[in-house]
Chain A
């Protein structure tokens, strides 16, 4: 009996040692897992809370200005000219940006084969996207304002913004076009239509939701840009600011904000508290515009999609 039980005891004690070890390992793994999870949770919550807090504090501090009627006027405390200029420059830039970058995206997605040419163009796009907007603003000053004699003008500003937003628009439109199903596209070609006919009648309508979303997202970038406009559009408005003349120098919401809190602080004809109030108001307007643009980009694409598929 005893000779038989000895190995059994040894076995069971060895087994319990191993199971204790296993349990310890398991526990340490789960503890590590729990610690890591809670650290990651904490970091994420911190980031999200910071974002939310920034948006709330911008709107909160801007509220006194937003509820004041003279804030929307043409006086020194009003932002009517800047609002007008911001939308003017937005439309003028999109007039260049939208057709050019859509055509470029069509070439890359539909016409060209994957090869050296597309690699070069994509490399150019990435490099241009990495150029700081301030440096592109100086480039615009040199080429559009000086060499092309546009001086400080809305046209020079819009052309600079075209260079700045070209890579982003190209990528967004490329994504929209390449999401069109291959079969749909090849069906058109198989019916004997030319490429252009296929693009016009099949690819562009199917990609429309993505294209509109892309258009709205670039609009957000244009509204928020300031550094590229400092040396191409100037910081001041002429008397006849509410005209469509593209050769006028003018400021936008963002450059006005930089002027009253940056270079022009104390010399803008405003008291310090007025400056702070106006700056808070402009910040709130900008963040509200951005929120609006973001919501629009989400819902408009979906709306068009529903219309198209229902029809």
Chain B
């Protein structure tokens, strides 16, 4: 009997150890990701044939392999300004559209929607949070781009490649990011206790007063988290955006509406398209881009954690 219980206790210890190792693996993986990517991130600034930080962040001429060098000497250039600007513009543009739609739908969904609508919307949101990004990209390519080509024809003067670019990328990102933001926002609103609603209604407020003066302020940090996590998702979104951008540099006239309807660039597109075929110094430039993405998404996660730590209802 004593023997048996000793064995059981030993088993317990072993199981505990194995489970601990598996959980700690998560910490090991994220540290490995940070170390491996940052170990490669700065090579391009120090190696011969590389570039300096200033050129990297201010010049718009991305050609690390030098195949597009106009002089024909194959001289590489590492100006990533256009890529970074592309990522920032598409991400912000998408979130400006997503935020009102996601928050509005979330409020209607939690406070007012009839049962049948909830039972339709819930599985739809779940399916779309997991929709493959390449499927959305192909859909954008076959439906959205031809449509935008026609819409933008008066602006671009019937350019054949019009339709690709930031405009299409923003709309594709909206489809990719909306479900994520929406489901986090719904969770945040569900976390507000029923008593808050009842208290507000019993004071004689209308439904809209209840929502705008009681529920939304109470859930504001959670709604903020939803938007921030949407931003994090948008900046890292790859294939959907890559398929509808299809450019090599920023368009000629950047400060006009036509810039949204011409082939354009962002960070993730050039990595997906070109990273596999590079080596040496030109590959190091792509590691710097990956590092930028990693840092930005890490910042977003920190902001969302800070917001979550300040929320009243969890």
Contact = CB atoms under 8 A, between A and B. Distances in A.
Contacts of B239: 226-227, 254, 258, 262
Contacts of A195: 12, 15-16
A44 B127 contact: no
B148 to A, nearest CB: 16
B143 A224 contact: no
B133 interface: yes
A79 interface: no
A136 B200 CA distance: 47
B65 to A, nearest CB: 15
A121 B27 contact: yes
B12 A138 contact: no
A32 B25 contact: no
B151 interface: no
A118 to B, nearest CB: 9
A294 B301 CA distance: 28
A44 B23 contact: no
Interface stretch (B30-38, B73-81, B189-197, B257-265): B30-38
Interface string B101-123: 10011011100110001001101
B135 interface: yes
Contacts of B182: 47
A262 B272 CA distance: 10
Interface string A27-71: 001101100110111011011101110110110010000000000
Given A134-B293, A227-B239, A107 B26 contact: no
Interface string A90-103: 00000000011101
A259 B123 CA distance: 30
B135 A231 contact: no
Contacts of B30: 124, 127-128, 131
Nearest to B14: A196
Contact of A37 (B11, B19, B24, B112): B112
18 contacts: A40-B112, A43-B105, A44-B104, A44-B113, A48-B117, A51-B124, A61-B142, A103-B23, A124-B31, A143-B32, A163-B29, A196-B11, A197-B8, A226-B133, A258-B239, A283-B135, A294-B126, A294-B127
Interface of A: 29-30, 32-33, 36-37, 39-41, 43-44, 46-48, 50-52, 54-55, 57-58, 61, 99-101, 103-104, 106-108, 110-112, 120-121, 123-136, 138-139, 142-143, 163, 166-167, 170, 194-197, 199, 217, 220-221, 223-227, 230-231, 254-255, 257-258, 261-263, 276, 279-280, 283, 286-287, 290-291, 294, 298
